[in-house]
Amino acid sequence: MSLSKIAKTIKGSPTLFLNKKFAILKEKGDPVIHLGGGEPKSKVPMEAVTATIKHLNTREIRYAPVDGIPELKQAIINYTEEFYNRKVASANVMSSGGAKQAIMLALQAVVNPGEEVIFPVPYWVSYPEMVRLCGAVPIPAYPKNKSFYPQLKDIEDRISSLTKAVIINSPNNPSGAMYSEEFISDVVQFCEKKDLYLIMDDIYHRLIFDGKKRLNPYDYAKKLDDNSKLVIINGVSKQYAMTGFRIGWAIANNNLIEAMTNMQAHQTSGPSVLTQKGAVGALNGDQSCIESLRDTLENKRNLMMKMLNDLDGVKVTKPDGTFYCFADFSTFNKNSNKLSEHLIDKAQVLTVPGTGFGMDGYLRLSYCGTEQDITEGINRIRWALDPNSPAEIIIGDKKYTRDWV
Ligand SMILES: Cc1ncc(COP(=O)(O)O)c(C=O)c1O
């Protein structure tokens, strides 16, 4: 079969692959624990469900405006005013098939083949592949201070005459780090000065812990006019636990939004009107679900930190937000793919290898599951890795025996 040059360069999503693997093992009846998940387990807000059903009941489920139904655009405008303190016009907003597609469209609309897009390491697994889908070149920026908190110098050092855009995701998937105010301010101003697009992937911006203050990229911008190259990405997937609705959005200058809308028109015609209605229900409904999710996640983060800190040889940085932590397991195995496979095979725990995020030797562990999953999952990891633990363990109704060193 002859595939396009671009198709040949694209790898599958390791996180979606693991979801599939989990489903297969579960189906087989294996007592597997998923510590690699990327979605909160709370229920979708009732208002989202009611709004979706109400529209479904009309039995008139038609095409919608490509950039989003007016009610959704208005709800996003209100959201932007409330959480970003910025009044935007309808022409600055478009909704898309999840934050993922909004990022993809933004890249397709601004990046030419051969140009470069920079993002700090560790990065979300999809950024390099999205950049490659544009025929462009992903440029990971490794923090020189070897922490999860980048500094402007890391980005500056990766700039070339081909750089077109920078992507920043804070709080960050996989590390959970919320970048410093200094860095966000520096990067916003740097991109303005260098005339680069800056895509702020804010999908976790309300899921932050320890009373930390959310940072608003607009606060640091000096040139917020019709030519601004600052793009804000957000959506309902994570904060409202609505991953299956596939609704995200972009806020940007009107020319860019128009270009993204034109592209979306020929790709999907826009997201389903049903799930757009659902997103309106969530955005306009009772917001206490977000605080309650945030609270639950903070408690689970604390539980996971306590358990990982008790695991000799693992190095962890406390996440400031999200529902992930990115732990250094390199003392056990520098090859995180092998380590992750070992944990599935020997202890029935699913973790995401660090390679997909640009850092081998690390595993991404999620704390969006139940407390029992976290406790049991990390106890199993301890059993699989610690040679001093008992030779046998019972998982489900099966006895597992240590047959490795
Ligand atoms: C950093 C980041 N950006 C974007 C997305 C995509 O969000 P959505 O499900 O709304 O497409 C994810 C999902 O895992 C993510 O972690």
Give the DSSP letter string of 355-372. GGGT-TTEEEEE--S-HH
pLDDT over 80 at 404, yes or no: no
Cα separation, 173 vs 103, in Å, equals 15
Tokens 């022409």 correspond to what residue?
91
Output the pLDDT for position 276.
Answer: 98
Pocket test for ligand 1, best of 44, 238, 272 (most atoms within 8 A of CB): 238
- What would the mean pLDDT of 313-331 be, rounded to a whole number? 97
Output the pLDDT for position 141.
Answer: 98
246 CB-near residues (< 8 Å, 6+ apart): 97, 98, 101, 237, 271, 272, 275
Cα–ligand 1 centroid distance for 74 (angstroms): 22
Cα separation, 185 vs 216, in Å, equals 9
Q: List pLDDT tens digits, range 117-132.
A: 999 999 999 999 999 9
Cα separation, 42 vs 231, in Å, equals 29
Mean pLDDT taken over the chain: 95
Pull the structure tokens for residue 40: 């909160």
Q: List pLDDT tens digits, range 229-244.
A: 999 999 999 999 999 9
Cα separation, 61 vs 190, in Å, equals 45
Cα separation, 205 vs 90, in Å, equals 22
Q: What are phi and psi of 392, to 5 degrees?
A: -130, 150
User: 340: closest CA among 371, 321, 357, 365?
Assistant: 365
Domains of the chain (ranges; CATH) run: 5-43+288-401 (3.90.1150.10), 46-284 (3.40.640.10)
- What would the mean pLDDT of 138-160 be, rounded to a whole number? 96
Q: What percent of the chain has pLDDT over 70?
A: 100
- Closest ligand 1 atom to Cα of 124: 1
User: 278: closest CA among 241, 224, 322?
Assistant: 241
- What would the mean pLDDT of 342-360 be, rounded to a whole number? 95
Cα separation, 363 vs 313, in Å, equals 13
Pull the structure tokens for residue 308: 């990982």
Output the pLDDT for position 135.
Answer: 96
Cα separation, 286 vs 279, in Å, equals 13
Cα–ligand 1 centroid distance for 99 (angstroms): 6
- What would the mean pLDDT of 297-307 be, rounded to a whole number? 98
Q: Which one is predicted more confidently, 12 or 186?
A: 186
Pull the structure tokens for residue 42: 């709370």
Output the pLDDT for position 225.
Answer: 87
Determine if ligand 1 sits within 6 Å of the CB of residue 173: yes
DSSP letter at 336? H
**3-class DSSP assignment, residue 399:** strand
Cα–ligand 1 centroid distance for 383 (angstroms): 32
- What would the mean pLDDT of 192-197 be, rounded to a whole number? 97
Determine if ligand 1 sits within 6 Å of the CB of residue 175: no
Output the pLDDT for position 152.
Answer: 98
Q: List pLDDT tens digits, range 53-105.
A: 999 999 999 999 999 999 999 999 999 999 999 999 999 999 999 999 999 99
Output the pLDDT for position 14.
Answer: 75
Determine if ligand 1 sits within 6 Å of the CB of residue 271: no
Output the pLDDT for position 217.
Answer: 97
pLDDT over 90 at 19, yes or no: no
**3-class DSSP assignment, residue 396:** coil
Determine if ligand 1 sits within 6 Å of the CB of residue 169: yes
Report whether 137 contacts 107 (CB < 8 A): no
Q: What percent of the chain has pLDDT over 90?
A: 87
Cα–ligand 1 centroid distance for 69 (angstroms): 22
Q: What is the DSSP string of 167-231?
A: EEESS-TTT-PPPPHHHHHHHHHHHHHHT-EEEEE-TTTT-B-TTPPPP-GGGG-S--STT--EE
Cα separation, 340 vs 201, in Å, equals 27
Bond prior to 122 in cis (omega within 30° of 0): yes
Cα separation, 153 vs 355, in Å, equals 24
Output the pLDDT for position 11.
Answer: 85
300 CB-near residues (< 8 Å, 6+ apart): 323, 367, 368, 371, 374
Cα separation, 363 vs 9, in Å, equals 24
Q: List pLDDT tens digits, range 212-270.
A: 999 999 999 998 888 999 999 999 999 999 999 999 999 999 999 999 999 999 999 99
Give the CB-side neighbour count of residue 34, counting CA atoms within 13 A.
21
- Amino acid identity for residue 168 in this structure: I
Report whether 217 contacts 188 (CB < 8 A): yes
Report whether 72 contacts 276 (CB < 8 A): yes
Determine if ligand 1 sits within 6 Å of the CB of residue 98: yes
Output the pLDDT for position 405.
Answer: 66
pLDDT over 80 at 1, yes or no: no
CA 395 to chain centre: 31
Give the CB-side neighbour count of residue 367, counting CA atoms within 13 A.
32
